[in-house]
Amino acid sequence: MPQSFPSPFARRRARRHDPARVRAALTAEVTALRATVATLTCSPAADAILHGPTRLGDWTVRDLVVHLAMGLEALPERLEAPAPTGPVLDLQEWLRGQGELSEDEVRATAEELARATAERAAALADGGPEAVSRYFEEAADRFAEALGPASGRTLVPIRTGAMTVDDFLVTRLLEAVVHADDLAAAVRQAVDSGDRWGSGAPAAAAQVHHEGAAPPLGAGPDAFPHDRQALAAVVRLLADGLAEQAPGGSVEVRVPPFAVVQCVQGPKHTRGTPPNVVETDPLTWIRLATGRLDWEQALREHSVSASGERADLGGVLPVVS
């Protein structure tokens, strides 16, 4: 019998994200972010921590907090923008488009975001940690005020066209979860830094880390207190993105307890134990799928298991950058 190879052009059935659950998860993530930012900016070593590094290139913790606030402002700003005229994309089409971006397009977008973030952070520099805290609180308030009455069917502009509010909120959830994890990693780095940022910085960062909440799902010590539904939605979105960008059925990717997808061209598995399986935990998957963690590094650290000759995702990750 000839082997079965699914068409790479076949459109997968789009997953539906429950709008009410997405809104509740966003609200919970923003609440946790408020608490973390407030604790960080009120600490005696707040200025030292805000000037500390992150895993996002040249960005400081201040830049990251400012960018998180800008991400929250995106909802009210786009709701107030003129009605979009471009093509209306669903999440599946948006994910496909992310995978089709050239390196130059990814670089240009990153540079544009970095410039906007740097300008906003510079405008707050003279006000110290209090200005950063106030800006984040005001952005979170604006977001909450816009979220409540926003109709899920309303179209908002995005870089490549338009998207419904319901789908746009899923992208906001992605950004909130990913950057909250970036912030947690930076705080963990401050805890581990000794006196490099001054005698008070590690202790203050440890206070931020301790007061956030217990890590979810047995995650490591650098975990942010993510809402469970937020983690679930982001894991599934990124898993669907992988299946969209690397279509096929030869590799099964498992991220328990939230997602299982098949991807990568090759013989399709139909029954029994799949010959090519990749399995990891939710936070590791999010870091792999967003370029925070390299595939080979994850294998070395045993944070991902891969069995089978085709179970190599190094060439198809990240899903979004």
Last residue in a domain, options 207, 225, 243 = 225
Query: For the domain that residue 173 is a member of, what is the CATH number?
Result: 1.20.120.450
The answer as to whether 318 is a domain residue is: no
pLDDT at 62: 96
The answer as to whether 47 is a domain residue is: yes
Distances (CA, A) of 11 to 169, 226, 267, 268: 23, 32, 18, 16
pLDDT under 50 in the chain at which residues?
1-11, 195-199, 209-222
pLDDT at 12: 57
Q: Which domain holds residue 250?
A: 233-307
Given a contact cutoff of 8 angstroms between Cβ atoms, the answer to whether 83 and 92 are in contact is no
pLDDT at 189: 80
Residues near 108 by Cβ (< 8 Å), separated by ≥ 6?
Answer: none
Q: Same structural domain for residues 209 and 249?
A: no
The answer as to whether 98 is a domain residue is: yes
Last residue in a domain, options 225, 257, 289 = 225
Identify any residues that bridge with 306 across adjacent strands, giving them in sequence order. 278
Q: Same structural domain for residues 221 and 239?
A: no
d(CA 36, CA 41): 9
Taking each helix axis as running N to C, give the angle between helix 228-245 and helix 91-100, from 0 to 180 degrees, rounded to the nearest 10: 60
Q: What is the per-residue pLDDT across 213-230, written as a single tens digit (0 to 9) for each?
A: 433 322 344 468 999 999
Q: Same structural domain for residues 155 and 275?
A: no
The answer as to whether 13 is a domain residue is: no
- Give, in degrees to the nearest 5, the angle at Cα 172 between 26 and 116: 130
Given a contact cutoff of 8 angstroms between Cβ atoms, the answer to whether 122 and 51 are in contact is no
Q: Same structural domain for residues 166 and 263?
A: no
pTM of the model: 0.88
Q: Same structural domain for residues 166 and 302?
A: no
Q: What share of the chain is helix, strand, coil (3-state, %, to 5)?
A: 55, 10, 35
pLDDT at 45: 85
Q: Same structural domain for residues 184 and 277?
A: no
Q: Same structural domain for residues 32 and 94?
A: yes
pLDDT at 207: 54
Q: Same structural domain for residues 264 and 219?
A: no
The answer as to whether 59 is a domain residue is: yes
The answer as to whether 6 is a domain residue is: no
Tokens 């909802």 — which residue?
75
Query: For the domain that residue 286 is a member of, what is the CATH number?
Result: 3.30.1050.40
d(CA 22, CA 18): 6
Q: How many domains does the chain have?
A: 2
pLDDT at 274: 79
Q: Same structural domain for residues 207 and 293?
A: no
The answer as to whether 94 is a domain residue is: yes
pLDDT at 194: 52
d(CA 165, CA 156): 6
Q: Same structural domain for residues 36 and 168?
A: yes
Q: Same structural domain for residues 118 and 219?
A: yes
Helix (H) or strand (E) holding 190: helix 165-191
d(CA 165, CA 79): 9
Q: Same structural domain for residues 127 and 162?
A: yes
The answer as to whether 7 is a domain residue is: no
Last residue in a domain, options 197, 225, 253 = 225
